[in-house]
Amino acid sequence: MEPSISVAYTDLLDAFEWVSATADLENAAFICRRTGATYFTSSAMDLGEEIPSDIDDGNLYIAVPPKTDLNLGRDLAIGFAAEHLPDSYDEVIGYFRQRGAYGRFKELLERKDSLVAWYEYEAQAIERALREWCRENEIEPK
């Protein structure tokens, strides 16, 4: 499939981080299929940005997915533990069986001096997933 629009990767990443920032989907971001422009919305606050009235038209705009839709949440953290902290793997699995998992996971990473490695691992996974999502949706990240 040949890309039909191009979007600056930094704009795509900003949009992805915006929609992933809230767990209850109060934030959304869209890419115009014609121009590649990005639009941000929030049900919790007025952003003061002019949003096209037809933003919900899937033929004209595509919604940027949150990290959970790209399997970049719990599964990514567990994968990191399997690769980088095998002695703590079962502990990490236990974290994700209850609320507050990410806080406990980050505390473990700090104790194990693995926080920087986690951020690098996560950034690489996000970039791979976003680029694949772009291919699937005929978007060229530049």
Q: The whole model's pTM is what?
A: 0.87
Residue-by-residue DSSP string for 78-115 = HHHHHHH-GGGHHHHHHHTTSTTHHHHHHHHHHHTT-H
Residue 3: which pLDDT band, with cuts at 50, 70 and 90? Answer: low
Helix (H/G/I), strand (E/B), else coil: 28 = strand
Q: pLDDT tens-digit profile of 101-126? A: 999 999 999 999 999 999 999 999 99
Domain boundaries defined on the chain: 1-64, 66-137
Residues 139 and 99: their CA atoms lie apart, in Å, by: 36
Q: pLDDT tens-digit profile of 64-91? A: 999 989 999 899 999 999 999 999 999 9
- What's the pLDDT at 50? 87
Mean pLDDT rounded to a whole number for the chain: 93
Contact 43, 77 (CB under 8 A): no
> How far is it between the farthest Cα atoms of the chain?
52
Helix (H/G/I), strand (E/B), else coil: 19 = helix
